[in-house]
Amino acid sequence: MVDTKIEPTAAGAGGVAAEDKERRFSWRITGRWVGITGLLAFLVAPIVPLFVWSISFRWFYPAILPTEYSARAWTEVITPHNDVLGVAWNTALIALVVTALSILLGVPAGRALGLYEFRGKRLVEWMILAPIIVPGLAVVLGIHVLFIRAGLSNSIPGVILVHLVPTLPYMTLVMSGVFANYDTDFELQARSLGASRWATQRLITLPAIFPGVVVGALFAFIISWSQYVLTLLIGGGQVQTLPLLLFGFVRSDPAIAGALSVVFILPAVIVLLLSSRYLSGDNAAVGGIGNI
Footprint on this chain of another protein (rule: CB under 8 A): 183, 185-186, 188-196, 199, 203-204, 207-208
Nearest-approach distance from CB 280 to another protein, in angstroms? 17
Which residue's CB is nearer to another protein, number 75 or number 189? 189
Which residue's CB is nearer to another protein, number 83 or number 183? 183
Which residue's CB is nearer to another protein, number 19 or number 183? 183
Nearest-approach distance from CB 184 to another protein, in angstroms? 10
Strands 68-69 vs 56-58: parallel, antiparallel or unpaired:
antiparallel
Distance (Å, rounded) from C-alpha 54 to C-alpha 260? 8
Nearest-approach distance from CB 196 to another protein, in angstroms? 6
Which residue's CB is nearer to another protein, number 205 or number 227? 205
Buried b (16+ CB within 10 A) or exposed e, 154-178: ebbebbbbbbbbbbbbbbbbbbbbb
Distance (Å, rounded) from C-alpha 149 to C-alpha 34? 53
Check if the beta carbon of residue 266 is closer than 8 Å to that of residue 50.
no
Which residue's CB is nearer to another protein, number 190 or number 255? 190
Distance (Å, rounded) from C-alpha 72 to C-alpha 40? 28
Nearest-approach distance from CB 193 to another protein, in angstroms? 4
Distance (Å, rounded) from C-alpha 176 to C-alpha 172? 6
Which of 159, 169, 97, 93 has its CA nearest to residue 131? 169
Nearest-approach distance from CB 208 to another protein, in angstroms? 8
